[in-house]
A and B are shown apart, each in its own frame.
Chain A
């Protein structure tokens, strides 16, 4: 009897607790639901908040730019750093005012979107090849062919004659090469594999380019910090990471031979130089393997993506104008914040192209910027 009583009391207590739990969960859920609806409402209603989503690479720069822009104009920008691919799909479903991506939209993404989208270059970044060779004090030099062979798994030792030939006078150890790459899909991978596909026919055929590829060799690390951690920890490792991260963490990175034959260290200046070339009118160009003689070959633009005609859904002309003005500011005045955050400012050629593209943005067929 007594035991039964205790049991029933126990079950009652559990039941009451779980009901409370459910109620509070429900409350929480309702709360987030409200938050969501507020966000969508502001996309259509509150004209003083713009919403963007996309590239996580751009996020530190964008945070700085948007907070400065807010100080001078009072316009708020809510930027969600969800990754380039997710940014494009949010723009496709029209839940954001602008997307941001480290790669131009591909043909599949283009066919999914209902109206033409403009690509406006806003900054440029580079991918550095970081390595862990404590014995080597000089900066390592790598040629495109050697780099491709390392990532294809054809060169497996650091003292391989092909690497030694490029680094005369450097005593290279007989350590095995451990290749580190990103395990998550990323714009950085896209830039790097695009470069390898351009410089190596074999890479292009066997692996190809994309945000995630089927790596022939190596270990995957999650995120830039995952790859960087692997390179730092594993003797003989080589991995590709964003330049900004490599600089901020004092990691060793290699000079890469560019198309003109020069060995170039990735720096803000050499990345900006890489973008100082003939840029097509739609700006959808990969800066990898640049023609510029002093340009670093593994770099790329990051774009802001908006619909060419801004009249869709219940958007007001004011909202459209605010968006275009913001992007115009980012291309011009906003560039001063790039350097301190180790992003490469846009080259004059890129700014000119960005201006032309922005002027082609319309609202109901009429140009927004005069």
Chain B
């Protein structure tokens, strides 16, 4: 409704312009139209072709990776079949490969990290989007949060090993679990820190896009700031906030270096969130260089395939949820 109205307004504007403008302008306009038939049109065609090409390259790349993963993991799929997915033993010596502990480890660390990070990322998003959208402090905080995303993950791993692990160990000995320090919990903490900026900056930009008329209306009805956030801003932006969370989940699923340094790297099924475990990405990074027989190598590549599929499924579910939010 409003769009057609806008369009009408625009055409109206142009017409009125045409009326007001002198003959001279009309001439220059027609001259421009003549010129357009030359280089400009070619540029248009070129630009369009470039766009199509870029898009196609992306599609080819993704499907190329998928096909490579499938082809390279065929030997392991043939030998191991579906047992690969629920097998609990990963034994390169006897050629028994079961990816279940790593699948579980990946999902556990990622979702735990997500749960830990959401309060922080949403708070930062609301703070920067609603309370302090401008000013030196706001831009300082914003840049700091974005800097978190720019730090290489190996540095997080190192920091985790040197600082976080001893802290977690002290905590563990206080609550009476084996004080190992490393494990799924520590890995989730590191991941949580790493993924905060993704949800926070997307959340901030959607919160800033909430029309002020809506907010002002709510204030005019006597709503407090908290009530405005709860019943205007959050409902209006929830698909955007969710998209940001999804983005950070994607990042958490694939993170390798920092996780492998603090997760404890055992191929046993984790028994609690404090026990050591392993993730798919970390196993690939650890064992790929010395995988000395074809089935082993293929089993590792299949791990990559599973990770690819898990990420795709998580993304698809996310898209569905976002779609439902926006349709409401």
A residues sitting closer than 8 Å to B (CB atoms) are: 1, 15, 18-19, 22, 82-86, 88, 106, 108-109, 176, 178, 183-186, 207-215, 218-222, 226, 229-230, 233-234
Contact = CB atoms under 8 A, between A and B. Distances in A.
A219 B180 contact: yes
Interface of B: 10, 13, 47, 50-51, 54, 89-94, 161, 165-166, 169, 178, 180-182, 260-261, 264-267, 276, 278, 282, 285-287, 289-294
Given A208-B94, A210-B93, A184 B293 contact: no
Contacts of B92: 185, 210-214
B292 A213 contact: no
A212 B97 CA distance: 13
Nearest first, the 5 closest Cβ-Cβ pairs linking A and B are A185-B290, A220-B265, A183-B265, A208-B93, A214-B91
A219 B261 contact: no
B93 A213 contact: yes
B265 A185 contact: no
Contacts, number: 101
B289 A213 contact: no
Given A22-B54, A85-B290, A184-B285, 11 more contacts: A19-B50, A85-B292, A108-B293, A183-B260, A183-B282, A210-B92, A212-B287, A214-B89, A214-B91, A220-B278, A233-B166
A208 B89 CA distance: 14
B260 to A, nearest CB: 5
A184 B180 contact: no
Contacts of A22: 54
Q: Which of B13, B93, B261 has the most CB of A within 10 A?
A: B93
A84 B51 CA distance: 45
Given A226-B261, A233-B165, A88 B292 contact: yes
A22 B53 CA distance: 12
B93 A209 contact: yes
B266 A219 contact: yes
B201 to A, nearest CB: 17
B266 A185 contact: no
A209 to B, nearest CB: 7
B99 to A, nearest CB: 13
14 contacts: A15-B51, A18-B54, A82-B289, A85-B289, A106-B292, A183-B260, A184-B289, A185-B92, A185-B292, A210-B292, A215-B267, A219-B180, A220-B266, A234-B181
B261 to A, nearest CB: 6
Given A1-B13, A214-B267, A219-B276, A86 B93 contact: no
A349 to B, nearest CB: 28
B260 A222 contact: yes
Nearest to B93: A208
Contacts of B286: 183-185, 212, 220, 222
A229 B169 CA distance: 14
Contacts of B166: 233
B145 to A, nearest CB: 23
